[in-house]
């Protein structure tokens, strides 16, 4: 009797709201994306972002840079966009070539154009529960899904599997800011099932196909799957053994069609947000 959370539908709904709001704007939000090197997956992601931006009526710029670009030249490219008054949001597609220190590049983005919300200054505001309207895309997408389905985190035990800087850590802050009791598990956690079995809200972001089994999940839990792995047979799989877990969960996200579509949706939401802030300021 579980409810399948439809990330595709929620994402679509929010994107349509953004599109409508954008139609009524005199100037248009502009998203600039930097991609360095020839990573095939990155090119697909960047292409999708550009297409979605275009659909919403945003301006968009893609700067394709060579694999062997120096760190300093890459920073210069970011700084050009920092100075460009027509650019409201800057995204540097990760991963960057191995010789580049990603954290240095992220720190070079102006915090008020940092659409991914990866700059230390922006992440700190969330970590310290300070007032902010900018949130990293995947964690923000998960919080939006909970909100859309009327699931409050307050007083619930939220267990996160994974401590990455993109999902696990910032999600733990958002859940804590929303008054959940939060446990972060990871590769060094002993007896993982002891934690997952006690989760009212279980979020897996481990990237291990179907490793969260039915017996690891509490009856009636809300189960959110951030994992996305392509199996040997080419099929996309989440972290959760969906077919077996779904009857035990009260709410569950599928893969694909759960958290995935929310990330790009929140990226566009952030772009509009930065645009509005910019025009409010000036």
**List 31, 117, 185, 222, residue binding a copy of itself (CB under 8 A):** 185
Check residue 220 for interaction with a copy of itself (CB under 8 A): no
- How many residues touch a copy of itself under the rule CB under 8 A: the total is 32
> Which of residues 60 and 172 has its CB atom nearest to a copy of itself in the complex?
172
Span of 36-44, 75-83, 92-100, 193-201 interacting with a copy of itself by CB under 8 A: 193-201
DSSP string, the chain: -PEEP-HHHHHHHHHHHHHHHHHT-SS--EEEEEEES--HHHHHHHHHHHHHHHHHT-EEEEEEE-TT--HHHHHHHHHHHHH-TT--EEEEPSSPPTTS-HHHHHHHS-GGGBTT--SHHHHHHHHTT-S-S---HHHHHHHHHHHHTT---TT-EEEEE---TTTHHHHHHHHHHTT-EEEEE-TT-SSHHHHHTT-SEEEE-S--TT-B-GGGS-TT-EEEE---EE-TTS-EE-SB-HHHHTTT-SEE--SSSSSHHHHHHHHHHHHHHHHHHHHHH-
Task: Pick one of 195, 211, 251, 278: the residue that binds a copy of itself (CB under 8 A).
Answer: 195
Name the residue nearer to a copy of itself (CB basis): 119 or 269: 119
186 interacts with a copy of itself by CB under 8 A: yes
Q: Based on CB atoms, which residue is closest to a copy of itself, 45 or 173?
A: 173
Binding residues for a copy of itself (CB under 8 A): 103, 120-121, 123-125, 127-130, 154-155, 157, 163, 165, 169, 172-173, 176, 179, 181-186, 188-190, 194-195, 198
Q: What residues are annotated to the active site? A: 49, 93, 116
């Amino acid at each position: 009797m579980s409810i399948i959370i439809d990330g595709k539908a929620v994402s679509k709904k929010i994107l349509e709201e953004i599109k409508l709001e954008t139609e009524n704007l005199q100037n248009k939000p502009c998203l600039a994306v930097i991609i360095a090197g020839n990573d095939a997956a990155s090119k697909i992601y960047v292409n999708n972002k550009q297409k979605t931006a275009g659909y919403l009526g945003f301006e968009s710029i893609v700067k394709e840079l060579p694999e062997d670009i120096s760190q300093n030249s890459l920073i210069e490219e970011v700084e050009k966009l920092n100075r460009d008054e027509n650019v409201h949001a800057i995204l540097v597609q990760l991963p960057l070539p191995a010789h580049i220190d990603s954290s240095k590049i992220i720190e070079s983005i102006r915090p008020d154009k940092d659409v991914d919300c990866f700059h230390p200054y922006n992440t700190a505001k969330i970590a310290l529960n300070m007032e902010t309207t900018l949130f990293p895309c995947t964690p923000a997408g998960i919080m939006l899904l909970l909100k859309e389905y009327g699931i409050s985190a307050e007083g619930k035990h939220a267990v996160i599997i994974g401590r990455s800087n993109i999902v696990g850590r910032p999600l733990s802050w958002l859940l804590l800011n929303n008054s959940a009791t939060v446990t972060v598990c990871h590769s060094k956690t002993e007896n993982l099932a002891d934690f997952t079995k006690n989760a009212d809200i279980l979020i897996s972001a481990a990237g291990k196909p179907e490793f969260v089994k039915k017996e690891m999940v509490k009856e009636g839990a809300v189960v959110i799957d951030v994992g996305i792995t392509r199996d040997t047979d080419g099929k996309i799989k989440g972290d959760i053994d969906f077919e077996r877990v779904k009857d035990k969960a009260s709410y569950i996200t599928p893969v694909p069609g759960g958290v995935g579509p929310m990330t790009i949706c929140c990226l566009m939401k952030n772009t509009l947000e930065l645009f509005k802030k910019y025009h409010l300021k000036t």
